Amino acid sequence: MCITLIASQEFFAPMRYSAFSVITQALRGHTGWKPAWRKAEPAPHYDVVIIGGGGGGLATAYYLARHHNVGRIAVLEKGWLGNGSIGRNTTIIRSNYGLPGNIPFYELSMKLWEGLEQDINYNAMVSQRGIFNIYHNDAQRDSYARRGNAMRLHGMEAELLDRAQLRKEFAYLDYENARFPIQGALVQRRAGTARHDAVAWGYARAADKLGVDIIENCEVTGIDIENGIVKGVQTTRGAITAGKVGIAVAGASSLVGAMAGLRLPIESHALQAFVSEGLKPLLDNVITFGAGHFYISQSDKGGLVFGGDIDGYNSYAARGNLPTVEDVCEGGIALMPMIGRARLLRSWGGIMDMTMDGSPIIDKTPVGNLFFNGGWCYGGFKATPASGFCFAHLLAREEPHPVAAAYRLDRFAEGKLIDEKGAGAQPNLH
């Protein structure tokens, strides 16, 4: 039944994207392009309702529809699709983690990134330009070696470059006059960047094609629970009953969780991101600074895209303050003095759901048929494909995907923390 449903939905699907379609449409004045996804109206009932039309929610819907036979699926988005963290990040994708709870998950994500565009027929500009984590002293080198070796144990590539090797690739970093001299870098060459908005649009289009209803401007205002089991949601566009409900609302996890009585190990913080004016190609890779919190890459449009620490205090206002702006730029100039004459074009803020150990949660909740995906701190973008893939698996099978098995809610109470930074239960330090 479900298969016929999907087949009939194909009828509404937009045309396949290709060089051929671009050329033929160009010759016809682009009159044939259809909306990338339907503007679906909410139905009274779905088998699975996913709250949140960001990267996580859309990827979840896509993989659910693609790989699991769960019936009708809706994604409810309170504003316009992709307006949250998926459209506000610094676009870095990588899987260079150090702890066993994280590595296989992010590596699955990396593998999904590598085949994403062909899979969803959308060019998300996944660009494997390599990430270089700079180290400045022996302790940092050893800690990166620990991480690189852990990656190798997981069958991934990782290289540790010394200063001379690094200098061959990046002549322009500050080697001579640095307060914290650069000693080398940990490299993951498969890492890189992707065009963030396109990831949301691509997943939306692909999910829509498989029959998922993507309902924008539909804010969830309540979660209906009877006898400890979720029955549906109240929305600004009416009540919707559901067999299962998944929460994937980065930046609002605690708020939506509270509708189901959940109290989560999460604080929400503002993170600022920055882009410079467009410049001719200057920076081919993603570089992170080890003597301050600063990371940078250059977009295909030419803007230097960079960021640093979260602002450090709880916030639901998607903006930050000046000390962090200065701190980030100080890190940038200390690392690569040549960008002193580049100009900051735009800065913006996003809300990060910071967990108590800096790692995410993909798990069942104490409420029956209610599932939770959140706490991505400021690392959610790179996780988007695996976040969706594993959450879909959990929603469909009610057991965790093996690579996400550590992302349990009860790990905090038990002490099975996945604390890459060793910062402890203070979310703004992760």
Partner 1 sequence: MRIACPHCGPRGLDEFLYTQDASVTRPKDGGAAPTPEWTDYVYLRENARGPRREYWYHSAGCHAWLVLTRDVSTHEILSVELP
Partner 2 sequence: MTGYRLPTGGLIDRDRLITFSFDGKYFTGYGGDTLASALLANGVKLVGRSFKYHRPRGIFSAGSEEPSALVELGVGAYREPNTRATMVEIFEGLTANSQNRFPSLRYDLLSINSVLSPFLAAGFYYKTFMWPAKFWEKLYEPLIRRAAGLGRNAGLQDPDSYEKTTEFCDVLVVGAGADGVKAAREAASQNISVILCDENPLAAPADLPATVTFLARTTVFAVYDGGTYAAITQLPNANPRQRLVRIVAGSSVLATGALERPLVFANNDLPGVMLAGAVSDYITRYAVSPGRNILLAINNDDAAALIPLLAANGIGIAGIVDTRRKSSDHVYHLAREAGVAVFAGAAILAAEGKLGVTGAKIHLHNGTTLRLACDIIASSGGFNPNIALTSQFDAKPVWNEGIAAFTAGTLPPGAAIIGKAAGQGINANIASHWHSGFNPGKSFVDLQNDVTVKDIQLANQEGFSSVEHVKRYTTLGMATDQGKTANVNALAILAEAQGKTIPETGTTRFRPPYSPVSLGALAGAHKGKTFKPTRLAPTHEFSTEQGATFIETGMWLRAQYYPRPGEDWLAAAQREVTTVRNAVGICDVTTLGKIDIQGPDAAKFLECVYTNSWTNLAIGRVRYGLMLREDGFVMDDGTTARLGETHFVMTTTTANAGKVMQHLEFCAQVLWPELDVSLISVTDQWAQIAVAGPQSRATIAKLVDAPFDVSNEAFPYMGCASLTICNGTPARLFRISFSGELAYELAVPARYGNALAAKLMEAGAEFGITPYGTEALGIMRIEKGHAAGPELNGQTTAHDLGLHKLLSKKKDFIGRALAARPVLTDPARQTLVGLHPEDGTSILRAGSHLLPIGAAATAENDQGHITSAARSPSLGPIALALLTNGPARIGEKIRVYDPVRQGDCIAVIVHPVHYDPEGARLHA
Which residues, 6 or more positions from 389, have their beta carbon under 8 angstroms from its beta carbon? 59, 63, 108, 109, 112, 401
Cβ at position 427, least distance to partner 1 in Å: 8
Q: Please, which residue, 169 or 174, has the CB nearer to partner 2?
A: 174
Cβ at position 272, least distance to partner 1 in Å: 13
Q: Please, which residue, 204 or 270, has the CB nearer to partner 1?
A: 270
Which residues, 6 or more positions from 421, have their beta carbon under 8 angstroms from its beta carbon? 358, 429, 430
Report the DSSP beta bridge partners of residue 131: 188, 286
Give kind and range of the element (H or E) at residue 139.
helix 138-153
Which residues, 6 or more positions from 52, have their beta carbon under 8 angstroms from its beta carbon? 75, 76, 77, 84, 247, 248, 249, 250, 252, 256
The footprint of partner 1 on this chain (CB under 8 A) covers a number of residues equal to: 24
Partner interacting with residue 266 (select from partner 2, partner 1, none; CB below 5-8 Å by kind): partner 1
Which of 16, 168, 263, 341 touches partner 1 by CB under 8 A? Answer: 263
Cβ at position 359, least distance to partner 2 in Å: 12
User: How far apart, in whole angstroms, are the C-alpha atoms of residue 263 and residue 249?
Assistant: 15
Cβ at position 299, least distance to partner 2 in Å: 8
Per CB under 8 A, the segment of 139-147, 170-178, 259-267, 290-298 that binds partner 1 is 259-267
Q: In whole angstroms, how far apart are CA 70 and each of 261, 268, 362, 387?
A: 26, 32, 19, 18
For residues 46 and 183, is the Cβ–Cβ distance under 8 A? no
The answer to whether residue 416 forms part of the interface with partner 1 (CB under 8 A) is no
Please list every residue from 320 through 379 that binds partner 1, using CB under 8 A: 321-323, 356
Alpha carbon dihedral 165, 168, 169, 171, in 10-degree steps, equals 120
Which of 73, 156, 187, 266 touches partner 1 by CB under 8 A? Answer: 266
Partner interacting with residue 139 (select from partner 2, partner 1, none; CB below 5-8 Å by kind): partner 2
Q: Please, which residue, 143 or 428, has the CB nearer to partner 1?
A: 428
Partner interacting with residue 241 (select from partner 2, partner 1, none; CB below 5-8 Å by kind): none
The sign one gets for the Cα dihedral 179, 184, 188, 194 is positive
Report the DSSP beta bridge partners of residue 135: 184
Cβ at position 118, least distance to partner 2 in Å: 6
User: How far apart, in whole angstroms, are the C-alpha atoms of residue 272 and residue 221?
Assistant: 28
Q: Please, which residue, 33 or 236, has the CB nearer to partner 2?
A: 33
Partner interacting with residue 7 (select from partner 1, partner 2, none; CB below 5-8 Å by kind): none
Residues that bind partner 1 (CB under 8 A): 254-255, 258, 263-268, 312-317, 321-323, 356, 412-413, 425-426, 428
